[in-house]
Amino acid sequence: MDLTETINRETLSAEYQRIRRYSEEICSPLAPDDYQIQSIVQTSPPKWHIAHVTWLFETFVLPRFKPGYKVFDPRFDFIFNSYYYTHGRMHLRGERGLLSRPTVEQVYEYRAYVDQAMLQLIEEINESRWSEFVFFVTLGLNHEQQHQELTFMDIKHNFSTNPLKPAYRDDLQIPAGKSRPMRWLERPGGIHQIGHDGNGFGYDNETPRHDVLLQDHRLADRFVTNGEYLDFINDGGYSNPALWLADGWALLQQKQWNAPLYWEQSDDGWNQFTLGGLRPLNPHEPVCHLSFYEADAYARWCGKRLPLEAELEHMLAEQPVEGNFSDSNLLHPAPAGDDGQWFGDLWAWTGSPYSAYPGFKPLAGSVGEYNGKFMSNQMILKGGCCATPAGHSRASYRNFFYPDERWAFTGLRLAEDS
């Protein structure tokens, strides 16, 4: 379905304001000092995030559709460009946390300036350009929702490096419930279709929709829990090279990993750092913040494997897009319910590398750098997580991370051949 069939000026204006407002709500618990922190190269300061998503509208939307638009500050183009080399130069990613200026106040002034121009443009854009305009605004809003998730993830890592172990929010609900036995679902093989079906928004890397051949297999209906992963640790999982891919084993020796990220052992047992601060490790919750290598090693340890992208997407397409997303007010994965655990909670690592679908063509122009150029050395994840904004997930969504990365809300689902 063409986006313009369901989006008019009123609905686009409302959606623009809703999504832009949520970015600021995410940052509202922060002190000005918190906006500045960048703990590792992969994270960015919250100040940079809320400026960068504004930069995208000012760079790729306003000049294209509003003749004579005057940018807020020409110097911001260099500071807040992320990786669009065809557009121009950029400040080094690992040094974003060194920029005390522009100030937080100036960044919010920047957002307000661009928002005013965008809302005016939504009202005034010529009907002849409406379809093209809706596409670019929708792309920008989906891009902002991605950064909303990243902001949660980055705040968590930034705070985790502080010896005080501060809570991002001290009013977050603690997930309730207990784990239950894992159920195995029989999935028939055959020729199936995956990829975006053309209804609503989809990124270019989700296209084109195409046939895939699946073998008979089984999928676990929930994530592996902390308690189950503890069994792997206690059985020497982190010291058994037979369980690990070569690159994973080398990384393990280099980093001296012995548990998932954010796990801390004390005299009283294991604790886990969360966006609500340090908590005792709950064995019933899904294990999270695993690298691909850790997920793969666990699967080998229990005689299983990770699901393939096509296997998991085919299953997700049969499920309602419901789950523990950021609006659940947990910002942490919860124990599985009786209906299974498919969308939300955690991004599930798959055993599939991130590569182009047959016939893939990136978007034209600089926005074509958005997905296609990263199709190397990364792995696919599916399903969304507890930090994903509600409405920003679908079966065909292709998230991707490098196999050593684990600051994202990543989890472990098992599969096996029938």
| Alpha carbon separation from 299 to 86, 292, 324 (Å, rounded) | 41, 11, 24
**In this structure, are 207 and 128 located in the same domain?**
no
Over its C-alpha atoms, the chain yields an Rg (Å, rounded) of 22
Round to whole Å and give the CA distance between 346 and 412: 8
- Angle formed by the axes of helices 46-60 and 104-124, to 10°? 30
- Element spanning 410, H or E: strand 410-411
Question: Taking Cα atoms as reference points, which of 164, 140, 185 lies closest to residue 418?
Answer: 185
Q: Could you report how far apart the first and last alpha carbons of the chain are, in Å?
A: 37
**In this structure, are 126 and 220 located in the same domain?**
no
**In this structure, are 231 and 149 located in the same domain?**
no
**In this structure, are 148 and 196 located in the same domain?**
no
Residue 332 maps to a domain: yes
Residue 92 maps to a domain: yes
Average pLDDT of every residue of the chain: 96
Question: Taking Cα atoms as reference points, which of 312, 282, 313, 308 lies closest to residue 296?
Answer: 308
Q: How is 393-405 classified by DSSP, letter by letter?
A: --TT--EEE-TT-
Backbone phi, psi, residue 32, to 5°: -55, -35
pLDDT band at residue 249 using 50, 70 and 90 as cut-offs: very high
Q: Which residues pair with 266 in a beta bridge?
A: 269
Q: Which residues pair with 187 in a beta bridge?
A: 217
Mean pLDDT of 128-146: 97
Q: Cβ–Cβ contacts within 10 Å for residue 409, how many? A: 25
Instruction: Write out pLDDT tens, residues 38-54.
Output: 999 999 999 999 999 99
**Of 160, 175, 198, which marks where a domain is finished?**
160
Mean pLDDT of 389-397: 97
**In this structure, are 138 and 8 located in the same domain?**
yes
Mean pLDDT of 61-87: 95
Residue 1 has pLDDT above 60, yes or no: no
**In this structure, are 201 and 279 located in the same domain?**
yes
CATH number for the domain spanning 254: value is: 3.90.1580.10
Round to whole Å and give the CA distance between 122 and 322: 31
Backbone phi, psi, residue 147, to 5°: -75, -25
Residue 172 maps to a domain: no
Residue 171 maps to a domain: no
The residue range of the domain holding 240 is 184-417
CATH number for the domain spanning 119: value is: 1.20.120
**Of 160, 195, 224, which marks where a domain is finished?**
160
**In this structure, are 138 and 226 located in the same domain?**
no
Q: For residue 212, how far is the Cα from the chain centroid? A: 25
pLDDT at 6: 79
High-pLDDT (> 90) share of the chain, %: 93
Residue 155 has pLDDT above 50, yes or no: yes
Residue 342 has pLDDT above 70, yes or no: yes
**In this structure, are 107 and 240 located in the same domain?**
no
Instruction: Identify the three-state secondary structure at position 229.
Output: helix
Instruction: Write out pLDDT tens, residues 232-245.
Output: 999 999 999 999 99
Mean pLDDT of 166-195: 96
Residue 166 maps to a domain: no
**In this structure, are 205 and 143 located in the same domain?**
no
Amino acid at 60: F
**In this structure, are 155 and 205 located in the same domain?**
no
Domain total for the chain?
2
**In this structure, are 201 and 95 located in the same domain?**
no
**In this structure, are 198 and 309 located in the same domain?**
yes
pLDDT at 139: 96
Instruction: Identify the three-state secondary structure at position 245.
Output: coil
Residue 4 has pLDDT above 70, yes or no: no
Mean pLDDT of 216-226: 98
pLDDT band at residue 196 using 50, 70 and 90 as cut-offs: very high
Mean pLDDT of 310-327: 98
